[in-house]
Chain A
Amino acid sequence: MYDVKVYVTYKDSVLDPQGEAVKGAVHRLGVREIEEIRIGKYFEIKVRKTNRPIEIVIEEICDKLLANVNMETYRYEIREEV
């Protein structure tokens, strides 16, 4: 079994209005050091081991469903359960 974490965020070229709104609130809180906040999506996935390489499996679901590659990008971390 694998434990996989997938993070989906807007591409850098896409404005993130939610992140901007939260950044505004953080500044009103008085924390001035914050330069940028971007909001994304986070998925925790358990994957059964098969013959298919785990990266292929994860990238397939990311490309086809979890992210819209027109506007979003993703990265992932894989941890193998021992």
Chain B
Amino acid sequence: MKFAVIVFPGSNCDMDLLWAVKDILGEEAEYVRHDADSLVGFDGVLIPGGFSYGDYLRCGAIARFSKVIQEVIRFADEGKPVFGTCNGFQILTEVGLLPGALLRNDSLHFVCRTVRLNVANNQTKFTSEYQKNEIIQLPVAHGEGKYYCDEVTLKQLKANQQIVFTYADENPNGSLENIAGIINEKGNVLGMMPHPERAVESLLGSNDGLIFFKSIIKNYGKVRANG
């Protein structure tokens, strides 16, 4: 499987993502710049954390107007997997590929620690290798990670099983309903505040993130075999 790791001015978790899928999992992966006009040849898109365009205006607001985003939208419309972590999640909501928005943490503090997450939905292409309601540990590092949406959207998220990860005990940012990660209705675009790519070696404190990427790769194989 060949992954594109999108790089915006200010991305700083791009190397972690490339390391996770290429060096640890042995898949193909390449950096793709914000001004690239094609994602032809790639099988999955990874949008990293960081501070795209300096977080000016709002986190992710300016990245939305990068040239490559038109291609990311096309890629997503074709049903191919798109994953955004942290600033990548913020960008996906700004683009409109995922509903809702990310607000300043209730505490006003930048939180940087490992949190416990509940796999609320393991029936997705990104989480199929986890057990339902499995508790996993992943790091978070963000100042604006409080998930917010209106009541109608929340009802839809629940009805369609789009809430994929929730904070298991401590909610680090005040997120609505402890939401840590959501997926689109079609099931091919997932955004989350925690960083699975920073938990792919036991040396890093947890390798619970490995299963996330393994799920994507395994399900891609299935798609190919069936197609």
Contacts and interface: CB of A to CB of B under 8 A. Distances in A.
Interface of A: 10, 13-15, 17-18, 21, 41, 65-66, 68, 70-71
Contacts of B54: none
Nearest to A15: B106
Given A17-B108, A70-B93, A65 B57 contact: yes
Nearest to A21: B108
- SS of B interface (majority): loop
Contact of A71 (B107, B108, B148, B174): B148
Interface core residue of A10, A21, A65, A68 (most chain B CB under 10 Å): A68
B65 A14 contact: no
Given A17-B104, A65-B65, 8 more contacts: A10-B103, A17-B105, A17-B106, A68-B58, A70-B101, A70-B150, A71-B101, A71-B103
A70 B96 CA distance: 10
A10 B99 CA distance: 17
B208 interface: no
Contact of B100 (A13, A18, A70): A70
Contacts of B61: 65, 68
A59 to B, nearest CB: 17
A70 B95 CA distance: 12
A70 B58 CA distance: 13
A5 B185 CA distance: 38
B65 A18 contact: no
